[in-house]
Amino acid sequence: MTTPPILLLHGWGGSFASSFEAHGWTAAPAAANRTFIRMDLPGHADPDAPLDPAAYADLAASVAARLPPEPVDIVGYSLGAKIALALAIASPDKVRRLALFGIGDNLFAPEPAADVIVEALERGVTADTPALAKGLVEDSRASGSNPLALAAVLRRRPNPVVDATALADLASRTMLINSSDDRVAQPDERLRIAMPGLTYVQLNGPGHVALPGDADVRRLSTEFLRVDAPHSGDVPDRK
């Protein structure tokens, strides 16, 4: 069987280097001898990224245009998971397996904290900035992104938009790993119901920002993407 490359799609505010490379994803034992596609989402890890929200009107199409011709496996975190699902729906022959984390029922609605995060990016974090928004903004600094470009990404026309009915026929075998303490991705029941063939794992802790650095998230994701890995359906929650 041909070994597909692995595309690592980080979340909002991250980068390939800060979200994945720094946390050992490219050196994970289960991913040995795999080729990784190094990609930063539009508006990220680029000091000269556009500041106009219109530049980010179709994130999934922007990513798709940079993919190789052969099929890929995708690890998607948060915003990267949304884009991964949109890619798998649009081009089912191009995506073999998906390992997703940090995404739940927020897939189907605008992020409720976006306005607060935009204010913190444009005006600075204050004592009144909610803890979740503060954590996301502070974590984004490691990516080397322009804060105003990150604000523009949040101000974009809502996209990608994923229809729950399309997920029922998703051809890509998919694992979803979420944390019970993730205030961004929880609840996730609607997403789980929409994907009947899903392999689901729930962890106790960590919070949303800490997910890329969690050893269990990394191990479970890369093991699921092994070329010879079985598809086992739902597995018991990991407490």
Q: Provide, rounded to the nearest whole percent, the portion of the chain with pLDDT above 90.
A: 89
Task: Please state the three-class secondary structure of 203-233 as a single string.
Answer: ECCCCCCCHHHCHHHHHHHHHHCCCCCCCCC
| Side chain identity at residue 131, one-letter code | A
Hey, which residues does 8 pair with through a beta bridge? 75
Residues β-bridged to residue 76: 9, 100
Q: Report which secondary-structure segment, H or E, holds 201.
A: strand 199-203
For residues 178 and 214, give the distance between their C-alpha atoms in angstroms, rounded to a whole number.
11
**CA 215 to chain CA centroid, nearest Å:** 16
Token look-up 């974009």 returns 156
H runs (alpha helix) in 42-142: 59-64, 79-90, 114-123, 131-140
Residue 238 confidence (pLDDT) above 70: no
Candidate from 108-122, 148-162, 198-212 with smallest mean pLDDT: 108-122
Contact 147, 122 (CB under 8 A): yes
pLDDT digit string (tens) for 55-71? 999 999 999 999 999 99
Laid out side by side, the sheet with 95-101 consists of 36-37, 6-9, 72-77, 95-101, 173-179, 199-203
User: Two tokens at 13?
Assistant: 């505010």
192 membership: H or E segment, kind and range: helix 189-194
| Rounded average pLDDT over 119-124 | 93
Secondary structure class of 135 (helix, strand, coil): helix
Q: Looking at the predicted structure, is the pLDDT value of residue 237 above 60?
A: no
